[in-house]
Structure 1
């Protein structure tokens, strides 16, 4: 069985133990099956990505004893593929420009909430003559996209959750090209995984909901559907998911303090978390 996994961090800050856990899970899954473990840097957020964080990510992974196969792939080098997919979806009549700000959406009394917050209420969906000289993003018309997907029932399999019937409508008309970036996470990650031949996606449970959108994009663009393995999350001392915004300790700080990275990785493999951390969230 040819297996390929990947770790795909964004260079918008330093990695923390939650990142380490996810990278280890993806790395070990591939190595245990004599497969490939690939590294991709998701660096198309021009306002937040920093080159210095790329070097830190590489050093952190080496400190953990995680080696990757082949060259590191950078999303910033794949902009043409994102544009081609957007042009294809636009040609299918599935995209429309949106001029609304986050504040506009939050202030809308008709905006329900989904997995990622307020669902776009469709304000710009049927504009007669949109002025594309103004800042805008491109949204997927979810109803039209589902009709064009060619399948009445989209599904994917997850090793922890079993067969899941995809319901991308819970996300509403998602953004596929941002005002400040050439592609959204949903579009870029779906295209990148297909281009790199990723067979098994190992990532945290916090991204399970996003997979519903990715499954729809795979159907629309004729891309293969990988096997999914959404793992439990590490919790910080406050019981919250480890994240940069929660002040989680960074791997760089641990490395610079003289900690043994390989021993740290082995402890995470055994389920032994650093002092002050809670067990992985089931």
Structure 2
């Protein structure tokens, strides 16, 4: 027998030994520690959703709920810190539609359905949209969002006829056990400035708080020089304090109040007119 035959025989024996060892390992039952690690890997991070009326794990929900976590929200805040338009617009199946170009008003369409069929919620409450003077999509600051929950398709059984197209639930951030603070400054080449701040922390063993505030402004811009504002101008102040309580038995409650002041300016620029010779300013 030559050297090549000896090498081939050794390799064959080694492969048979490895196969036998692998088969024996598969036949042995997994230890409790191994089973626990596999279950944790399959489950991943526990995500609780509220858009289905009850706070349950997303794995246990009978309907599909998409969740955008804090990491994705922070990525969008770095680009557009003044509102949630980009956050919503870059989600598959959702599209932001401008409803008033002169003033920059917009709503969200889900799977092609009009904005009046989409319910936007704040912590499960219908505080946004639905009425003309209500807070719109471009006025909601994303600074204190913890996650965004999206139900695509009819959710009218949960929230009535205004949710025929779907639900977008904006869940606020919960304070961490340690004091936390954030400050974001932003400026654009089109004359926009944003200043947003967030602070949270514990007050007692059962009470904690969060405070969000910001100032956003935009110069009115006539990009094509026709005397009409392609980008409406605005000045907006927002502030929203929240108080959280969590009992020893696991019961939770929170109290929040918010204030927003905004002035928008669109239409024709000063000393400019529309084709009929009259100004058309919108404020």
Which band: TM-score by shorter chain? under 0.3
* Greater helix proportion: 1
More contact order relative to length (CA 8 Å, sep ≥ 6): 1
Please, what TM-score do these two structures have when normalized by structure 2? 0.25
Please, what TM-score do these two structures have when normalized by structure 1? 0.25
